[in-house]
Amino acid sequence: MKVRKVTAAASVLLALSLTATACGGDDDKDEKGSGGGGKITIGIKFDQPGLGQKTPDGKYEGFDVDVATYVAKKLGHKADDIEWKEAKSADRETMLQRGDVDFIAATYSITPEREEKVDFAGPYLLAHQDVLVRADDKSIKSPKDLNSKKLCSVTGSTSAQNVKEKLAPKAQLQNYGAYSQCLTGLQSKAIDALTTDDSILAGYAAQKNFQGKFKLGGFKMTNENYGIGVKKGSDLKKKINDALTEMVKDGSWEKAVKDNFGPASYKNEPAPKIGDIVK
């Protein structure tokens, strides 16, 4: 009789254990950003003012942050559910492939090479390579005016080299370690222009300490289609596309543009249609 009582109790415990395990599986699913609440991990830049920046007080702000927060909400996650993770340019594909993040919104241009490794939702912004010059500089009105000018970009970037090879062969390239150093050089007149994506330039120019000091050239030298990266084959792609469509429709996209780029007088392109990649 005692053996039968122990067996019955063990059966009850086993049933309870299986039930708990099943509930735990649902929680894990929520944590992977599939909707219904729970934690979600999003990759952004930490060092790009106006786009993705971690502030000294530990907050996160910028256009990419606003877009990612909106998307996460539409996926069923509150702002407090978001774990922000730094997504440096060279690490983005690996982070998605390993499952370190659920999606990445980090000035992530959609290219055929990247699409072989990850999937993209969007695009959600069409940017262009441009230049930033001093507000009182009237000598640089077109890319050819960069000839004989000191042109700055960050080490490892192809932006300045593209200008020299295709548009201004006599430009004097200056490679600095960070965009902030280029801005300091631009302000002190050690350099004449800084080149990278216009959205990044606008983000810097919109900062309080730089407002009114710089202006964008408006040259539109390349097309950069920013997308939200997800793991290859992820069902999040469609859900994120639906969220981006709603963000444009309800006016939140336009508000995010004005909030983050407005002080730089950034003449942004209209919100792109989902799947519409401008070559």
53-79: pLDDT as tens digits: 999 999 999 999 999 999 999 999 999
Amino acid identity for residue 269 in this structure: E
CATH class given for the domain over 129-216: alpha beta
Give pLDDT tens digits for 125-160: 999 999 999 999 999 999 999 999 999 988 877 788
Whether the predicted pLDDT of 254 surpasses 60: yes
CATH assignment of 40-127+225-264, given 1.10.274.10, 3.40.190.10, 3.30.70.3280, 3.60.20.10? 3.40.190.10
**What tens digit of pLDDT does each residue of 176-198 get?**
988 889 999 999 999 999 999 99
| Spatial separation of the C-alpha atoms in residues 64 and 70, rounded to whole Å | 10
Q: What is the pTM of this model?
A: 0.82
Where do the domains of the chain lie? 40-127+225-264, 129-216
Q: Would you say the CATH fold of 129-216 matches that of 40-127+225-264?
A: yes
